[in-house]
Amino acid sequence: MKIKGFVGRYGVLMLSMFTICLGGFVFANSYGKKVMDSDAGMLGAIEPAAGDETKAMPSLQNANVEIKPGDPIVAVIDKVEIKRSEIFDMIDELSGHQQVVPKQVVFPVVLDQFVNGKIVEIKADSSDITTTDEYKTRLDEAKKQIARAVFIEKEINSKITDEKLKAAYDKYVAEQSAIEEASARHILLATEEEAVAVIKELDGGKDFAELAKEKSTGPSGANGGDLGYFKKGDMVPEFETVVFDLEKGAYTKAPVQTQFGYHVIKLEDKRAVQPESFEVKKAELEAGLRNEVLQDLLGNWRSESKVTLFDINGDAVKTE
Are residues 17 and 120 located together in one domain of the fold?
A: yes
Domain that holds residue 238: 175-272
Q: What is the pTM of this model?
A: 0.54
Indicate whether 162 belongs to any domain: no
Assign 36 a pLDDT band (cuts: 50, 70, 90): very low
Q: Tell me what pLDDT residue 21 has.
A: 37
Please write the tens of the pLDDT for every residue from 149-192: 999 999 999 999 999 999 999 999 999 989 999 999 999 999 99
Residues 196 and 252 in one domain: yes
Task: Tell me how far apart the alpha carbons of residues 217 and 212 are, in angstroms, rounded to a whole number.
Answer: 9
* Same domain? 181 vs 115: no
Task: Please count the structural domains in the chain.
Answer: 2
pLDDT for 82-121, tens place per residue? 999 999 999 888 876 556 678 888 899 999 999 999 999 9
Q: What are the CA-CA distances from residue 92 to residues 75, 102, 153, 201, 245 (Å)?
A: 19, 11, 19, 59, 50
pLDDT at 266: 98
Amino acid identity at 129: I
Average pLDDT over residues 140-152: 97
Domain C-terminal end among 130, 162, 191: 130
Q: Are strands 256-258 and 80-83 parallel, antiparallel or unpaired?
A: unpaired
For residues 125 and 182, membership in a common domain is answered with: no
> Is pLDDT larger for residue 103 or for residue 64?
103
Are 23 and 124 part of one and the same domain?
yes
Q: Residue 32 above 70 pLDDT?
A: no
Q: Tell me whether residue 146 is in a domain.
A: no
